[in-house]
């Protein structure tokens, strides 16, 4: 008789092989996870995400790089105090906002600093 550990190892191996052989499953899983996290983290439906993306012409709201050029989904930018969704940003622009603690004054000073050294 097989142990519980052996059964779980076999099951995991079978599932990995199935996923490799069935790309439709991987696409379904990716979409399911995207829907789940959009709803859980931002209370946003996938249709609403796609609508925002269309309004932004499929690009980052700050640098305007198209999502195809970035090569990944755009991040949902939101106010950490209210939870309200602002727009979609590429990872780089989202990090800029986050690392500035969402403080516009820091961002203005950073822009002034860069302009002084051009």
* Residue-range definition of the domain harbouring residue 84: 4-116
- Summarised one tens digit per residue, pLDDT across range 23-64 is 776 677 777 888 888 898 889 898 999 999 899 988 899 999
- Non-local (6+) Cβ contacts of 38 within 8 A are 44, 45, 46, 49, 76
CB–CB of 100/107 below 8 Å?
Answer: yes
3-class state of residue 66 by DSSP: strand
What's the number of domains the chain is made of? 1
How large is the angle between the packed helices 23-42 and 46-55, nearest 10 degrees?
Answer: 90
CB atoms within 10 A of CB 34: 13
Q: Would you state the pLDDT for residue 9?
A: 85
What CATH number is associated with residue 64? 3.40.1800.10
- Summarised one tens digit per residue, pLDDT across range 68-115 is 888 788 899 998 888 899 999 999 999 999 999 999 999 999 999 999
């Amino acid at each position: 008789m097989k142990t519980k550990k052996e059964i779980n190892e076999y099951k995991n191996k079978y599932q990995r092989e199935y996923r490799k052989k069935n790309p439709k499953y991987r696409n379904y899983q990716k979409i399911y996870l995207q829907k789940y996290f959009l709803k859980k983290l931002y209370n946003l439906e996938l249709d609403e995400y796609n609508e925002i993306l269309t309004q932004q012409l499929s690009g980052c709201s700050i640098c305007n790089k198209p999502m195809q050029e970035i090569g990944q989904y755009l991040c949902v930018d939101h106010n950490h105090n209210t939870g309200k969704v602002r727009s979609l940003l590429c990872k780089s622009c989202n990090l800029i906002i986050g690392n500035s603690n969402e403080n516009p004054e820091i961002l203005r000073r950073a822009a002034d600093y860069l302009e002084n050294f051009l």
